[in-house]
Structure 1
Amino acid sequence: MEKIGLLSDNAISGASGDAFGFLAHARVLCDALEGTDDLPLTVGIFGPWGMGKSSFMNICRDLLRQREIPAIWFNPWKYDQKDEIWHALIQTVLTEMAIDLERRRSEAGESKRERLTQTLATVRQLSQAAAWLLARRAAGPLTGGFLAADDVDRLQDTLTASDAAAYRHVNHFEEDFRDVVHRYTNGGRLVLFVDDLDRCTQDAAITVLDSLKLFLGEASCVFVLAMDQQVITEAAGRKAGGDAPDLVRGQQYLEKLIHFPYHLPGVPFEALYRQLQTKVRPPELAGSGELWELIQSAFGANPRRVRRFINGLNLTAATLELQQPPSVRRLLHAGVLLALRMLYPSFFLVLQEDPAIWFRFDEAEARKTQLGGRDETVAQENPGVRRLLADVSAHRAGFDFPPPPNEQEIRLLTEILTVTGGLPSAPEEQS
């Protein structure tokens, strides 16, 4: 077998890298963002885990920059504490603005340079005001911007003593931020992309959303937020309802915050096949219609899940080859077991203890009979398993899936998959 490489989970970096058909959809959304006059505007990019929200937003950011609309990116999941998050959000925006203003000032003629210098000075004052707020509220280090951690005490003493201008920025942050955005964009709009909200803790995610309203809510900004709608609704509902989330109030919170919900267009499975078909080893397996039917049945067109599956299957094939080249039949068995381990880890454990359960599920599907006893309980505890095994059954018309493997084969393959199959998917990843 030729050398294999692991598939990364990196997002598409821009419009030129689009492999999923996002570009046309992104152009339509960017046209709408550019044409909207009633600002600020908050857009939610809704989509399940692994479906390409970051890639889609990267394409949008690239398109906006091509139109000379300033766009800034913020990743809140890097920060744990509430004070860190709102401060990092503000300082990220102000720092990116300052860097761009410095560049523009160095390239500008004398007439524009003074105006840019004044705008830059205001940006720095706002950054200091935000740092002062953090210093008053928390003893931890600063998370970004112009000030180092050891500047906090000196800054606080200075501002407390005499800096009336800084106090004004603290007390009128929203208004001053609105004015500086107006000057920075020449009366246009600033687009802030907030990614991976659903990777944050629930408290952190809500802190980010609240910060947009409290600190930045009067400026000519478009906030584009990538999120799994269900995850954030539950987070907001837990804030409202405590240990028992109030999902109705959570949904109301989200509806009030998100002016326009944009549901991520699905990735065509054909596009995923074209991109990944050459990454499967060995080549004879890559050309198997049964393999791609298994992938589609188990993972749909979820790019992240499919990449993880192919990584695990390729490593399993390489491990099997240490003894002898595996047949396509054996690799299809390995693929089914890998899908079960990723999606239904508790069933995978039962299968290790009772390898014959796969055969009994297959026979029940072929004869259209009910499962009985413990098998029925296992099926109820693992909804979806019976459908998946039916989709890859040797009895299924139109495909040539092999019959279930014998007990010895299952024990061999499950032992290998505990090493090469990676971690099972978390429950939210299976939704």
Structure 2
Amino acid sequence: MLLPDNPISGPDGDRFGFSTHAKVLCDAIARAEDLPLTIGIFGPWGMGKSSFMKVCEGLLRACDIRTVWFNPWKYNQKDEIWHALIQTVLTEIAHDLDKRRKSGEATVQERLAQALDTVKRLSHAAAWLLARRAAGPLTAGFLAPGDVDAVQGALTAPGVETYLHVNRFEEDFREVVNTYAEGGRLVLFIDDLDRCTEDAAITVLDSLKLFLGEGSCVFVLAMDYQVVAEAAAKRFDGERTDGARGRQYLEKLIHFPLHLPGIPFEALHQHLHDKVTDPALTGSRELWELIEVAFSANPRRVRRFVNGLNHAALTLHLHNDPPERDRLLHAGTLLAFQIKYPDFFAALQSDPGVWVRFDDAEFEKKELGGGDGELAKNNPGVRRLIAAVSSRRTGFDFPLPPTPTVIRLLTEVLTVTGGPVSEEGAARGA
């Protein structure tokens, strides 16, 4: 069994208790005044930001509030990403306006047709900017004088019309949104900013101010706060920065920060406990203690771990007789090392005795020296995990550390079934 990592599709699929927090937020969005408004959904990689926003999207649509969803990580070039953002919003609006125009009364048809015509002109204006790579010199929605001089000779009559429309972009967009949302608001969900390249992530944030900053919009942005703050800081200060400028940038842009509530580990266990397919681990307290210590309640990491463990168990079945519980717990612990502490996992491959030495050091409460000390320093948290799965721990029945032969067999299996994912790579969606 391989577990997918897709976000839930809406409120009906909520397994982790997001709906209560989402309803409070959506009620606030529906009542908000003085738009536009920007909301940040903050949380580490894998903690369910996309699922939380899908719950919000479903609740808002049930209240007839218009929404658009945009995934910027699909686009890497700066000029490509701001254009994709604008065109995604305009395409969604155009599709809905056209459908409502065809089914409405004559007066409604005329009003929506005018709005649809404005949408098409806005789309042409964005395409014109992309063709001339003119987004860079924009300030508050206007072309800089130097850019106007540079392209003036090339402007034809239609080009002049387009240029004039570019300078009215924010005003026209505001009117379109007002018609589209029937005097209400448009909620734009922007997901996975922390999966983008640093330049792309900041380009998305700048585009909200440059092009869409006057409409009756609520922008809901999902991100790992630290990742995006560091990207913004590098933009201002280069590589050498303490991150303060990046935090100030986000604080100015984000009107309301919502730090995603943690998922109770019990809810994650209830959702996934029957996804561990090997009967030797059915109901194993030790396995779920290992999972909780290694991955807390991070749904993405736990799913990845369960997938890897199921795959390893099936592979071990093909190697010999059905593996015993202790062998599978050893495989699970090694898999946790591989995912969380790839340097330690690599050290075990070359020196299997590391596990025993670390276990002894934890039991005797002593420091590690030499290469082991350096390994512990470079893998903070690994000693805590080894202590959690120690056979000396009371209240649980963990096996003794595996022999070098068992470690070599299991690391060979795990190396084939999946490589390590670093914390930085995970945050970028690797």
TM-score, structure 1 normalization: 0.92
SS of the aligned residue for 1:396 comes to: coil
Distance 2:397 2:185 in 1: 56
Matched residue, 1:337 = 334
C-alpha displacement at 1:164, in angstroms? 5.3
Matched residue, 1:125 = 121
List gaps (5 residues or longer) in structure 2.
135-151
**Residue 419 of structure 1 is aligned with which of 405, 416, 426?**
416
Q: Which piece of structure 1 moves more, 362-371 or 267-276?
A: 362-371
Matched residue, 2:139 = none
* Alignment partner of 1:193 is 2:168: no
Distance 2:235 2:427 in 1: 24
Please give the per-residue CA displacement for 1:287-312, whole angstroms capped at 9, x wherever unaligned: 10000000000000000000000011
C-alpha displacement at 1:20, in angstroms? 1.0
Please give the per-residue CA displacement for 1:147-198, whole angstroms capped at 9, x wherever unaligned: xxxxxxxxx9997324655333211111111111111111110000001100
Residues 195 and 427 in structure 2, CA contact (< 8 A), matched pair in contact too: no
C-alpha displacement at 1:395, in angstroms? 1.0
* Alignment partner of 1:112 is 2:105: no
Distance 2:94 2:427 in 1: 42
Matched residue, 2:379 = 382
Alignment of 1:162-241 (within 5 A): 162=158, 165-241=161-237
Residues 342 and 420 in structure 2, CA contact (< 8 A), matched pair in contact too: no
Distance 1:398 1:427 in 2: 35
Matched residue, 2:86 = 90
Distance 1:176 1:342 in 2: 50
C-alpha displacement at 1:24, in angstroms? 1.2
Distance 1:305 1:315 in 2: 15
Q: Which piece of structure 1 moves more, 77-86 or 302-311?
A: 77-86
Residues 280 and 324 in structure 2, CA contact (< 8 A), matched pair in contact too: no
Please give the per-residue CA displacement for 1:357-389, whole angstroms capped at 9, x wherever unaligned: 111111122222222332222111211111110
Distance 2:27 2:393 in 1: 47
Residues 338 and 421 in structure 1, CA contact (< 8 A), matched pair in contact too: no
Which amino acid in the other structure matches residue 289 of structure 1?
R
Distance 1:342 1:406 in 2: 21
Alignment of 1:121-160 (within 5 A): 121-137=117-133, 160=156
Matched residue, 2:147 = none
SS of the aligned residue for 2:156 comes to: helix
Which amino acid in the other structure matches residue 215 of structure 1?
F
Q: Which piece of structure 1 moves more, 178-187 or 225-234?
A: 178-187
* Alignment partner of 1:24 is 2:20: yes
SS of the aligned residue for 1:321 comes to: helix
Matched residue, 1:141 = none
**Residue 350 of structure 2 is aligned with which of 349, 353, 356?**
353
List gaps (5 residues or longer) in structure 1.
139-155
Distance 1:36 1:315 in 2: 49
Matched residue, 2:288 = 292
Aligned residues: 411
Distance 1:337 1:396 in 2: 18
Matched residue, 2:361 = 364
**Residue 397 of structure 2 is aligned with which of 391, 395, 400?**
400
C-alpha displacement at 1:405, in angstroms? 0.7
TM-score, structure 2 normalization: 0.92
**Residue 70 of structure 1 is aligned with which of 66, 69, 87?**
66
Residues 313 and 421 in structure 1, CA contact (< 8 A), matched pair in contact too: no
SS of the aligned residue for 1:137 comes to: coil
Give the % identical residues: 65
Alignment of 1:209-288 (within 5 A): 209-288=205-284
Which amino acid in the other structure matches residue 397 of structure 1?
T
C-alpha displacement at 1:430, in angstroms? 7.8
C-alpha displacement at 1:324, in angstroms? 1.1
Distance 1:57 1:104 in 2: 26
Q: Which piece of structure 1 moves more, 16-25 or 305-314?
A: 16-25
Please give the per-residue CA displacement for 1:74-123, whole angstroms capped at 9, x wherever unaligned: 11111111111111111110000000111111221223111111111111
Distance 2:426 2:70 in 1: 23
Which amino acid in the other structure matches residue 365 of structure 2?
K
